[in-house]
Structure 1
Amino acid sequence: MSTTTERAHGAGVRRGLRFSTRILLLQLAAVALAVVLAAGAHLWLAYERLWTEAEDNALTLARAVAADPDVRREVASIAALPGTPPPAQLAAGPIMASADAARQRTGALFVVVTDEQGLRLAHPDPARLGEKVSTAPDVALSGGEETVRNTGTLGASVGAKVPILAPEGAAQKAGAVVGEVSTGFARSSVVDGLGRDGLAVAGTATLALTAGTLASLALRRRLSHLTLGLEPEDIGTLVQDQEAVLRGIDEGVIGISRDGRVSVVNDAARRLLVGAEDITGTDWAAAPVPEALRALTATDADGATREFVAGQRVLVASARPVVRGSQELGWVVMLRDRTELQRLTRQLDAVGALTEALRAQRHEFSNQLHTVAGLLDIGEAQQARNYLGRLAASGPLDYPLEQAELLGDPSLQAFLGAKGIEAAERGVVLRLGAETLVRQPVGAPQDVTTVLGNLVDNAVRAAVAGSQDENGERWVEVEVLDDGPTLHLVVADSGDGIGAVAPEQLFEPGYTTRAVASAGSESDRLEPPWGHGIGLPLARQLARRRGGDVWLISPGRPGGPGAVFGARIVGRSSA
């Protein structure tokens, strides 16, 4: 999986710019565009504001000049004349003086005064006095006011036109339009003001662009951290690989994130451990899983492997921390089903025991044939006949399980026969109790042999480690009785009992006393055949799943007899 990741990561690098780099460039472009648009909009608004201010100033100046009583009186008197005074007279007149004073006082580009026909009575260029204005004065001469942006004889400007009204006592009717005032400010003054705003906008834009760049760099670093440096294409490939692997394997997989939450639970894990329940997203410390499984993710449990019982299954669990570089990403817990393997192991043990027994008895039978051949060779035919007669009466083979014919199921006979051979090799006699009688074949021999085999193995171990009886023997006694669909089992031994151990503690998953028991103690019997404290819990669960049970009948006593266990398996025999 790591190889696939590295290969995909390398391919992503070869494709061109990394995704995080592309995102950074895109963000920088977006920030730059936003800054440019904002700066442009601000400058445009500032430009319009300056023009508006210039128009307002021009209009205010024009109104002030047009309202001057001297200007009104002089313009009205000139408008009443049949013609216009010569330019020299206008240049030296009071109208020209008032206009120049207003222009110099305000810094305007021009202050122009005309009569009712639009002929200049005041102008910054005396040579143009008496001429008609270059821009139409119709609005002002009609009694209205207006602001204009145009280019006249003095250049581009923004200005205003205001009518001059006749004063009281003039030849015209009071309030009649007798001329107009046109004022203007140069466009360069507006641009100079925009330059000052532009410096402020440029500074603000630079700060905004710098802040955006720093934020983009921080986001790029965070994105690279979150994606572990992988490209989007690589992440998509990894997701597909993960789905293919997690859904296509028989082992259960549980992923735990760095914050302690369950991030991945594949179908096999739900089937083996939690059934149909989905624990994805739950806190691992509070997840509904066996405590032995949660203990695997302790900081000091790296690489630990444990067997435990979950439901009707024997599971092997291991946990490994997930680390990429120096970054801890969480844990991965692997679950493997060992139930069938344990059953097959028990069956193979029984087959092996029978094989060893047959090998030994083949050797014994070969010796008996040699004896007969020897007697015939020396001419002792009668003795050979008598020897064969004794063999015919007692049987040629010494089968260690007496009264095996009480077991009406061949598989059960073979299983207990093999157990008898194993026990005999360890100096223990395996015998059938007086109440033994099986009249029907066993319907599910695997479950029966799992329950019975665990009890017999524990009893043999206890007999070996315990005391001998008054006859100097070590024994294990098994009683098997069928009652319709129910099979009753009782297993006793000659050991020293279970001591002070609480009966229910024997059936707790993972409980074993081998590590703390002294040599020869009856508590050694609590160790299951595979030695991890799961034999008795598994036997009880197998029995209980159809209404049966496994329990302790008697704890026994030191010096013997030992403990007695009982079991009831329902629906395990067939007519």
Structure 2
Amino acid sequence: MLVQLATAAAVVAVCVLVFVLLGVQQLRAEAETSALNIARTIAVDPQVRAAVAEISADPGTPRRADLTGGPLQELATDVTARTGTLFVVITDDHGIRLAHPDPALLGQPVSTDFRDVLAGNEVITWQQGTLGVSARAKVPIWPPGADGARPPGASPVGEVSVGFEPSSVFDDLPALLGGVAAAAGAGVLLAAIAGIVLRRRWERLTLGLQPEELVALVQNQAAVLDGVGDGVVALDHRGVVRLCNDAARRMLQLGDPTGMSLERLGIAPAILAAAREGTASAGVVVGDRVLYADAQPVRHGGRDLGTVLIIRDRTDVAALSERLDTVRAMTGALRVQRHEFANRLHVAVAMLDADRPAEAREFLGEQLHRGPVDYPVESIDRIGDSLLHALIGAHALEAGERGVRISVDPDSLLLAPLIDVEDVAAVLGNLVDNAVQAAVEGHEPRHVQIGCFSDGHDLVLTVADSGAGVRADIDLFVRSGRTAVDIDRVHGLGVGLPLSRELARRGGGDVWLISPGGTSAHTGAVFGARLRGVLGDARVDDSPDPGSAPRGIADRRDPTP
């Protein structure tokens, strides 16, 4: 406020100075103009011209006694009295005073230069004379001529000099200065009032923070917002975005949201509900990210300042959870496999103890051919990797409890081992779980068919179900901006499929919907997945073994989990 007042006072002072200078200059110009007009009036007077021409024609110097009561002296005295001038002086062509306020100086040369005037020029100046400093105008007196005009080739016969003293020139200056001072005071007063009003408004807007505190606040805010991985969105009390850091823009896929409401930005309804209610939202899929939103109301000094929305990216956590669920299922399947394998060993040992080695040999040979566990999955022998074999078997056991039969596509053939089990388990597990859910909600018979194919080092998967298919207006891989009513809960809650696609795309693959199903033939949906670089080199024994699965598959069935 002090800086503002000082600035206003400085501006007013400059304006006052300029105005005073202009006023003084105008008063000087008015005085000079008045003196010039009076001098011209006297100079063109026919009697003055005739009298001065007559005196100038006399080679001698006029006597003071003759001039004291002469017509020129009386005219000058009368003009001085009527116009308020300091002096009216009339001279001949040699600068001899013919009229002067001081009669004692009549007949003497003037104290100022008169040559320029006698050369035919009008002179306006401020000079020091016998009567002091004055604004004076000097006009030449021409010989008598037609209409008082200058005769051709004639020279001035004298001059008229009219002057005003400074005191009379600046008589109006005090009033001018008073008016300027009053205007300046009013301007400073208005600046002070405006400064007080603005100061109070700024204090209300900045919550009483001073400039130094605001600078520190901005620095701390920038450090916090740029130093955390969470997204931060600050809303005012009307729900308009006032601040959004880069992390929030990236997560919510926003451009420049400042100054816009969340509704206009197309934010997911779950996040909008959290912002309005000041609560936390469940996992929301935006693009290929799984986000959690936590809204906290902000109050200061009893005032509602708005809401701060914290956006956290939980994509990696959700992906890890998917993988852990798959690993848990595999662990259960391997536990069952180990238990079943132990039971078979007990059977073989019992046969040997009963001295029945031939039957024991036949039993072990049959187990070697059948594999470690008899999973209720048709054509599962087409899959040579033990972990994938166990994963499908584990899902088949769980699906069987829900009345869904899982089978492997008879055209499947996978001889190469997996070298990246986690992503394969997460993607396949999610697709199978969604297919089982769709089959449960579908019509009889309830089944899910899995296809496993190798394409070099790429694994290609297909998962088909017997459900009712996918609605044409639903994109299962994008859930941003849709309400809970629009979610196809038959094929999941809208989280697993986007995560599966992201896991596949991270390695250069993809997950897509091959067929939405739901046709007149009552076919369900078919999903496809390509996982790049997850297979090793296939190991196949070319020796034929009629009536049995390829040796490469049998070799992969190591009884040890």
Structure-2-length-normalised TM-score: 0.66
Partner of 1:181: 160
What is the alpha-carbon distance in structure 1 between the residues aligned to residue 339 and residue 240 of structure 2?
A: 63
Deviation larger for 358-367 or 479-488: 358-367
Q: CA deviation at 1:166?
A: 5.5
Matches within 5 A, 1:362-373: none
Of 468, 471, 495, 1:502 maps to 471
Q: Which runs of 5+ in 1 are unaligned?
A: 1-20, 169-173, 376-380, 470-474, 518-522
Deviation larger for 44-53 or 408-417: 44-53
Of 308, 313, 336, 1:336 maps to 313
Q: Determine if contact 2:263/2:272 at 8 Å carries over to the other structure.
A: no
User: Match of 1:300, SS?
Assistant: helix
Q: CA deviation at 1:102?
A: 1.2
What is the alpha-carbon distance in structure 1 between the residues aligned to residue 423 and residue 407 of structure 2?
A: 20
Q: Determine if contact 1:112/1:123 at 8 Å carries over to the other structure.
A: yes
Structure 1 residues 154 and 363 mapped into 2: Cα distance closer, same or farther (>3 Å)?
Answer: same
Partner of 2:70: 93
2:386 counterpart of 1:410: yes
Structure 1 residues 341 and 51 mapped into 2: Cα distance closer, same or farther (>3 Å)?
Answer: closer
Q: Aligned-residue CA RMSD in angstroms?
A: 5.7
2:322 counterpart of 1:346: yes
Q: CA deviation at 1:100?
A: 1.3
What is the alpha-carbon distance in structure 1 between the residues aligned to residue 284 and residue 224 of structure 2?
A: 28
What is the alpha-carbon distance in structure 2 between the residues aligned to residue 216 and residue 47 of structure 1?
A: 33
Structure 1 residues 300 and 563 mapped into 2: Cα distance closer, same or farther (>3 Å)?
Answer: farther
2:414 counterpart of 1:439: yes
Q: Determine if contact 1:251/1:268 at 8 Å carries over to the other structure.
A: yes
Of 40, 48, 63, 2:40 maps to 63
Q: CA deviation at 1:158?
A: 1.5
Q: Determine if contact 2:435/2:491 at 8 Å carries over to the other structure.
A: no
Matches within 5 A, 1:76-475: 80=58, 82=60, 84-87=62-65, 90-141=67-118, 144-165=121-142, 179-206=158-185, 209=188, 231=211, 238=218, 242=222, 245-246=225-226, 266=246, 270=250, 279-280=255-256, 293=268, 296-297=271-272, 300=276, 302-303=278-279, 305=281, 307-309=283-285, 313-318=288-293, 320=295, 334=311, 336-338=313-315, 340-355=316-331, 401=376, 405-420=381-396, 422-423=398-399, 426=401, 432-433=407-408, 435=410, 437-441=412-416, 442=418, 445-458=421-434, 460-461=436-437
What is the alpha-carbon distance in structure 1 between the residues aligned to residue 115 and residue 438 of structure 2?
A: 128
Whichever residue aligns with residue 439 of structure 1, its letter is L
Q: Determine if contact 1:66/1:162 at 8 Å carries over to the other structure.
A: yes
Partner of 1:4: none
Q: Which runs of 5+ in 2 are unaligned?
A: 146-150, 539-561
CA offsets per residue over residues 480-530 of structure 1, 9 Å max, x none? 34365564544557xxx549x73664836449x99889xxxxx997153xx
What is the alpha-carbon distance in structure 1 between the residues aligned to residue 160 and residue 82 of structure 2?
A: 16
Partner of 1:526: 490
Q: CA deviation at 1:190?
A: 1.0
CA offsets per residue over residues 23-61 of structure 1, 9 Å max, x none? x72x55454444333333333233233223322322332
User: Match of 1:408, SS?
Assistant: coil
Whichever residue aligns with residue 534 of structure 1, its letter is V
CA offsets per residue over residues 237-285 of structure 1, 9 Å max, x none? 8479648854x65556678898978985737954x676xxx83479978
Partner of 1:47: 24
User: Match of 2:268, SS?
Assistant: helix
Q: Determine if contact 1:507/1:540 at 8 Å carries over to the other structure.
A: no
Partner of 2:555: none
User: Match of 1:65, SS?
Assistant: helix
What is the alpha-carbon distance in structure 1 between the residues aligned to residue 179 and residue 21 of structure 2?
A: 14
Q: CA deviation at 1:104?
A: 0.9
Q: Determine if contact 1:62/1:162 at 8 Å carries over to the other structure.
A: yes
Whichever residue aligns with residue 150 of structure 1, its letter is Q
Partner of 1:567: 527
Structure 1 residues 445 and 567 mapped into 2: Cα distance closer, same or farther (>3 Å)?
Answer: farther
Q: CA deviation at 1:86?
A: 4.7
Q: Determine if contact 1:250/1:268 at 8 Å carries over to the other structure.
A: no
What is the alpha-carbon distance in structure 2 between the residues aligned to residue 487 and residue 176 of structure 1?
A: 121
Q: Determine if contact 2:244/2:258 at 8 Å carries over to the other structure.
A: no
Partner of 1:17: none
Structure-1-length-normalised TM-score: 0.65
CA offsets per residue over residues 409-446 of structure 1, 9 Å max, x none? 1220232243345456x565765457275432346544
Residue identity over aligned pairs, in percent, reads 32
